[in-house]
Amino acid sequence: MSLAEKYPDEVKAILAKYPIQRSAVMPLLYLSQRETGYISKESMSEIAAMLDLDITEVASIVGFYTLYHDEKAGKYRMQVCTDLPCALRGADQFLDALCQNLGIKVGETTPDGLVTLESVMCLAGCDKAPMFQVQEGDKITYHENMTVDKTLELIQALQAGEKDAAQ
């Protein structure tokens, strides 16, 4: 089912807010992602057609912004900032150590399906690196001045919370 068929009132309301239709691209992407946690190629194509854009333009927006995703992931997206200022404060080594401890590579999801580890650029906390944001649906939490041990404790707490919620 298409975005326009699934959410006709919301699509109409979004389009009504923008006199220049192409400006509605980001809210439409958000609407598309809301239910599944990612934006499918089909949704990108539909949004491009709706706004008279090229699909490459829509896909480039999804690729640029860390809050849009074009692939399914774990319940939690842990996005570690690795731009130059953060790298100078050890972000690359931090990310490598997390990967080793979790037994995954950047972009992969833990075997329990809970955490996807990603590398992103600029979370606006360079002076507090290593730092990352955790996305869970619409909720985002920032974690600054992190160590591998503190991060693994956080992941264990998320796992424990999932187990508690299932009981």
**Is the Cβ–Cβ distance between 106 and 145 less than 8 Å?**
no
pLDDT in tens, 58-82: 999 999 988 899 988 999 999 999 9
What percent of the chain has pLDDT above 90? 81
What domains are defined for the chain? 3-64 (1.10.10.1590), 76-166 (3.40.30.10)
**Is the Cβ–Cβ distance between 107 and 98 less than 8 Å?**
no
pLDDT at 131 over 70: yes
What is the C-alpha separation between 73 and 53, in angstroms, rounded? 27
Mean pLDDT (whole number) for 46-60: 96
Element (H, E) at 18: none
